[in-house]
Each structure stands twice: as C-alpha cells, then as structure tokens.
Amino acid sequence: MPITITDVAARAGVSSATVSRVLQGSPRVSRAALERVQAAIAELEYRPSGVARSLRSQQTGTLGLIVTNITNPFYPEIVRGAEDAAQRMGASIILCNAAEDPEREIAYLDLLLERRVDGVIVAAGGLTQRHEDFLSAFPSPLVLVNAALPGGQVPAVLSDDEGGGRAAAAHVLELGHTRLVHISGPAVREAVSLRLDGVRAAIAAADADVTLEVVEGDGYLAGGLAAREVAGRLRPPYAIIAHNDLTAVGAMHALFDLGIRVPDEVSVIGFDDIALAAFTNPGLTTIAQDKYAMGHLAVETIARLRSGEAVKGDQVLPVRLIVRGSTGPAH
C-alpha cells in the first residue's frame, strides 16, 4: 500500500493541505513547513497518486494512440514522434495495437474513453464506415494520422500523397522511362488514389509518349508480388512505381527470383522510406514521408484542441524524393 499525502502530513506535522501546497509549488507556505514537508516526502519516498489527481483535476495526462499494426515498419517512427511530443508536455501514451482488425480499433476507442484519456490519435490505414460514424461523434480531442474523414470534420495529419506520386513518376520519367507500372494499394484508401493522381499528373506534364499500367496490390509485401505477373508479359526497360515501400520490396523480390536485374533492367521506386528501404540491395529509391513529424504534429494538435483552439482541415506534410540504387536510366 503506497504512502499517501496523509502519511506525509502526519510525518511533517502539518495538514494534508499544506503538503498539497508544497506539491503544487505554492508560495503560501512557510519556510519551516516547506522544509519539513520536503523532508517527509523524501524519507517516505512519497509519490503522489496520479489516479487521485486525475479524478480531482479531470485530466489524466494520458493520450491514446491507436495504430493499425505496430510491426508494420511504417508505424514505429510515428509512435516515436508522438511519444517524444507527449513526453515533452508531461503526458504518457497508451499504445493500442489494432493488429489490422478494424473491430479492435473501435473497441479500443471505447476503452480509451473509459480511461478518460485527454485525447486520441488514430494512425490507421483504412477507415471503414463504422469508423466514420464512431469517429465523427467522438467526444474527446481526436486527430487522425495518415487518413482523413470526408468533410474534414476531424483534424488529420497527412503527407502530400499527390505530390509524392508526382515526384515518383517525374523521377523515373527523367531517367528516360516511358513505360510505367503502378502497383497501387487497396482502392478504398484515399492515399492510394491521390498517389495515382500524382503519377498521372506527372505523366500529363511530361508531354511525352508514356504508357501507364495500374495493377492493384494490397499495400503489403504480397501486393508487390504482382510484379511477377507483370514481368511475364512486359519486356524491360520499364519502371515500377509502388504504392509504398513494402510493395516495392515485394516487387524487387519477385524480380530477383526471375533473374531480372534492378535497376539495370527494371527500375523500382517506393513510398514511405521505412527503415528497411536503406538496406535492401540495391537500396530502394523512394518518396520519404516524415513519419516522426507526423506523430509529433498529431500530439501537438491534440494539445491545441485541448486549449480550445479550433483546428480545422488537414495538415499536409511535404514528402521528398530519396534516390538510392533501385532506379536507373532506361536502356
């Protein structure tokens, strides 16, 4: 049974109110009392109960962070950014790993409400209709990362998917590629169509004779395996623009299996810049999202929301092209 404020008060020969004042750093405490209280706190190794404080103050100093899948290498950086920002403002993060299960995501939302968290961040890939219903009526500060709700009712932190798609296509176009294959993610996600839009925009802007083929992947390694089927009927050179790095890595593997050389025969470019991307062989050229900043900004946005500020619309972070070894000139 931990020490309570009453124990400290007794030990210091004061009332609990005085101990509380010391805890709050109130100036209305005599020097003598202050010292005795501090001594008592130290001797008893007293630690005020966060639970009791939360009940009194109606705030827990706790933020909920729901991620689709913590073992997806896209998320740990976001978590780190969020955690750093939270720590800076004296808050803790309750991490909820939805393990790719939308129902579990919603169950966690409920749980976090019961825990009276000061805010919730949802870093989820795809949002279902049930999410929308639940989230748009969420009774607590809420920020979405990497996904948005129609109408912009809920503040969201996003990357510039359209610009990223454009940059990816422009890069391979510049290398002289005229045949592009886009392995997309699941069509329901908004980022998927935005990236594709970007690719199309870059092609349109190039006013050269360029073909684009789109095959739908799943956003994971498996989706990249579509490259096998593509390689069966397309003769190099061509460039594969993957929806994300996992897809790109899957595609590279399929290509290696077939003995097709990257980038000599086929160029591959990804999206996200997960840690893995720097360590494939060749290194993966990709469009980097600033994942750390996304997590950080999400927490800061919660703070702004809590201070009564009306944060409206999406906050879009810039992306940038990182050229490694997986893209090369078409020949």
CB atoms within 10 A of CB 164: 25
Q: How many residues does the chain have?
A: 331
Half-sphere exposure of 298 (CA within 13 A, CB side): 38
276 binds, among a second copy, DNA, none (CB under 5 to 8 A by kind): a second copy
Choose the contact partner of 23 out of DNA, a second copy, none; CB within 5 to 8 A by kind: DNA
The whole-angstrom separation of Cα 160 and Cα 218 is 20
Q: Which helix (H) or strand (E) holds 322?
A: strand 320-322
Task: Please report how close the Cβ of residue 133 comes to DNA at its closest, in angstroms.
Answer: 24
Contact between 118 and 306 (Cβ < 8 Å):
yes
Closer by beta carbon to DNA, 58 or else 307:
58
Indicate the helix (H) or strand (E) that contains 291: helix 291-306
Nearer of residues 97 and 184 to a second copy, judged by Cβ: 97
Q: Binding of a second copy at residue 256 (CB under 8 A)?
A: yes
Identify what 21 binds: DNA, a second copy, none; CB under 5 to 8 Å per kind.
DNA
SS3 of residue 143 by DSSP: strand
Shortest CB 162 distance to a second copy, Å: 27
The full DSSP string for 149-193 is -GGG-S-EEEE-HHHHHHHHHHHHHHTT--EEEEEE--TTSHHHH
Nearer to DNA, 118 or 218 (CB): 118
Smallest gap from Cβ 178 to a second copy, in A, equals 27
60 or 285: CB nearest DNA: 60
Q: Cβ closer to DNA: 51 or 310?
A: 51
60 binds, among a second copy, DNA, none (CB under 5 to 8 A by kind): a second copy
Identify which of residues 133 and 213 has a Cβ nearer to a second copy in the complex: 133
- Residues 93-112 binding DNA (CB under 7 A) are none
Q: What is the 3-state secondary structure of 211-244?
A: EEEEEECCCCHHHHCHHHHHHHHCCCCEEEEECC
Which residues inside 45-74 make contact with a second copy, applying CB under 8 A? 47-52, 54-55, 58, 60, 62, 65, 70-71, 73
Residues with Cβ < 8 Å from 7, sequence gap 6 or more?
Answer: 44, 46
Helix-strand-coil split of the chain, %, nearest 5: 45, 20, 35
Do 224 and 233 meet the contact criterion of CB atoms below 8 Å apart? no
Figure out which of the listed residues 10, 41, 45, 58 binds DNA, where binding follows CB under 7 A: 58
92 interacts with a second copy by CB under 8 A = yes
* Binding residues among 6-25 for DNA as defined by CB under 7 A: 6, 13-21, 23-24
Residue 130 token pair:
């049930």
In terms of Cα–Cα distance, which of 201, 210, 240, 212 is closest to 224? Answer: 240
Chain residues that interact with DNA, rule: CB under 7 A: 1-2, 4-6, 13-21, 23-24, 27-30, 32-34, 46, 48-49, 51-53, 55-58
Chain residues that interact with a second copy, rule: CB under 8 A: 1-2, 47-52, 54-55, 58, 60, 62, 65, 70-71, 73, 75-77, 79-80, 83-84, 87, 92-97, 99, 104, 110-111, 113-116, 139, 249, 252-253, 256, 275-276, 279-281
